[in-house]
Amino acid sequence: MPSVCFLCDCDSLSRSSASLRERLSESLENAVYQGYHHFLCGFDGEADCIFAALVLALKKEYPRILLEACLPYYEESLFSTPPYRNLLAQCDQIMFFSEKPDPNSRERRDLAMLRRCSLALVALGSEEGTDFTLRQALLERDRFLELI
């Protein structure tokens, strides 16, 4: 099943969430139009919450859409903190990449998401962006990469 993942430089994007919401909405609508129905979200900040909420809004119109949470590790506080709790409750599947936090758990999650997706939406909030994410996305050249 063709999948779309979203990766971002979350810290610097929180200041421009209206612009991100607009760009993401357009990219997601285009992805659904192209036949994508499976969306992977890392739930790693405000930008990921925007992505998840937009996917869930599209799901009301297109019930075939699946939203999968890809969490680097199990973190109980994530399930008790709004808006995460509400968004995670609406996910079709939740996957954990580690039992507990370690220095590489987020990178492992990002790599797994990139390898599983057919379309990677990468949002860079600053000139530097997320070096690791961008490098890995560029290495996965057989996948379609869209910078938003």
Give 3-126's CATH code, choosing from 3.30.70.980, 3.40.50.920, 3.90.600.10, 3.40.50.450: 3.40.50.450
Pairing of strands 66-71, 93-96: parallel
Q: Which of 120, 124, 106 is nearest to 47 (CA)?
A: 124
Q: Could you give phi then psi for residue 98, rounded to 5 degrees?
A: -155, 155
Dump pLDDT digits (tens) for 9-58.
655 555 567 778 888 999 999 999 999 999 999 988 888 899 999 999 99
Q: What percent of the chain has pLDDT over 70?
A: 78
Q: Residue ranges of the domains in the chain?
A: 3-126
Dump pLDDT digits (tens) for 74-85.
887 777 788 888
The 3-state DSSP class for residue 133 equals helix
Claim: this prediction has a pTM higher than 0.75 = yes
- pLDDT of residue 94 exceeding 70, the answer is yes
